[in-house]
Structure 1
């Protein structure tokens, strides 16, 4: 909504965005590392988002586990608390960096070690005292948003002081310029445009403009409706939930990438 308010300049749009942002305060105490996405991307374009963003950042820093070196996935959505997932990294990196730079670096490094290291490939990990980190089957290894979320987190990490080492890893995750399958294990299955939108923004932030533009052209020309809805997103192929659908984060990251590409918003953390 803040992107719309910036675009229109309409005071009514700003008030609507401000009212919506105020509701994020309810998530301050939620035990989930997705608070990074909520508090960073929910406030980054706001005129006066510092207060609520700072509250979220401090709550996330308090949840940082120094023994694990990261903010755990948490229990807010049910299931075990001590997990690490690729979708718990983006947003959390710049959010933590506002209050604890080393915690931000550690959160990113440990997720990269798990998801891209020598262990079996997985985007989700469970930690127990008896066995340490164990790979989880869900999301599956071919999950479209796994590499997209981590690529965005790398783009965020590259903007930290001494972040060049993170930028250097981008080639491992950067895909060809097309919309990925929702799950590479199902070559005849649906696509996931939301993963492509996340990737496009990450590529822009990493300075790979040509690849980002090529991907954005595919999305806009082939999957965007005349009223601005990004179709053909896939939420959860395994569960059969919203497998060919408009997804709110797909709309958001496409709008963000287009706004940054056209200079309507400055580069952000």
Structure 2
């Protein structure tokens, strides 16, 4: 995976890596980072941590600074950008540039907070194809955002925003059986749920793989940075994943696709969930064994069967995570390398190898 980071650094192209063609290894890039650019910077921070080489840290700072204009964007997804793009630089290196960027990103998030509804909405600039705005919520809005708020909001006098944002999203998106619905419409005046729906899942009633995984990750981050009040929800949501994961430990893009077992997989959802379970294994001792076993099985499956080269005849670029399904619903990048899938597999590998404490990131 470090070799893949190197080839990405060397590859021609302007903008942040977004998703790549599995045959050529060429990245499709976004000029401003879209919602995924922080994961490329996060890979660089982790490479610097793993290798001790200054070239990765220098590159991380350079790319992180390119995210600075996004602090003012009206998208809750900037939590991804400024946690993975800057927050990691603070947590791992105490980097001065990263600290200012993380502060600016957190301030931008707090400025979007709706105190009456008790959450930060998707926002008018949210990087979804449709149905965005100030009366919409999305479970994807929690990871990164919650971590930033819990580690930086106190400086801004808004230390309760993280708890309220997290609690309201689980009220809106977690079903009674502990599965997670991706999105919701709410009443801006009071936060009342109007309806649940999905942007990227099979249907409004199905469980899109990444929805469950993002929820698990957010809960792991919340507990890691001091909010233990969500432990019951964390265990319930994680237990659902463990119970429904296929025997080969790699999730389908949607748990309810009737084409299973011939439905597409999603290596990215699997990597996210594995990273979340490694955090929760430390935080919930009574579930440690089950969570570790599931996380390690998924990471092993991804590394052995979905990371190039996948066999002796595979001549593709080294270190591409295959079978990433960005948006099956719209037919967008349904079998590609995804920059966020790469990030979470790399994070998981570093945790398993003992190079990184799971609750630092």
User: SS of 1:230's equivalent?
Assistant: coil
CA positional deviation for 1:128 = 4.5
1:74 has 2:123 as partner: yes
User: SS of 1:158's equivalent?
Assistant: helix
The answer to which of 120-129 and 206-215 deviates more is: 120-129
TM-score (norm 1): 0.91
- Where does structure 1 lack aligned partners over 5 or more consecutive residues? none
TM-score (norm 2): 0.69
Q: Structure 1 residue aligned with 2:250, among 163, 170, 179?
A: 179
More contact order relative to length (CA 8 Å, sep ≥ 6): 2
Rg larger in 1 or in 2?
2
Supply the distance in 2 between the matched residues of 1:11 and 1:121 (Cα, whole angstroms).
41
CA distance change for structure 1 residues 235 and 69 in 2, over 3 Å: closer, same or farther?
Answer: same
**Which contiguous aligned blocks of 4+ residues in structure 1 show a shift greater than 6 angstroms?**
none
Supply the distance in 1 between the matched residues of 2:159 and 2:240 (Cα, whole angstroms).
24
- Residue number in structure 2 paired with 1:167: 234
Supply the distance in 2 between the matched residues of 1:118 and 1:200 (Cα, whole angstroms).
23
- Residue number in structure 1 paired with 2:199: 138
CA positional deviation for 1:166 = 4.2
User: SS of 2:185's equivalent?
Assistant: strand
CA distance change for structure 1 residues 121 and 231 in 2, over 3 Å: closer, same or farther?
Answer: closer
Within 5 Å, give how 1:1-269 maps onto structure 2: 1-46=44-89, 47=93, 48=95, 49-76=98-125, 77=127, 79-81=131-133, 82-98=135-151, 99=153, 100-118=158-176, 122-128=181-187, 133-140=194-201, 141-159=206-224, 160-163=226-229, 164-175=231-242, 176=245, 178-183=249-254, 184-185=256-257, 186-187=259-260, 188-207=262-281, 208-226=291-309, 227-266=318-357, 267-269=359-361
CA positional deviation for 1:92 = 1.0
Supply the distance in 2 between the matched residues of 1:110 and 1:144 (Cα, whole angstroms).
21
CA positional deviation for 1:265 = 2.4
> 2:208·2:253 contact (CA, 8 Å) conserved in 1?
yes
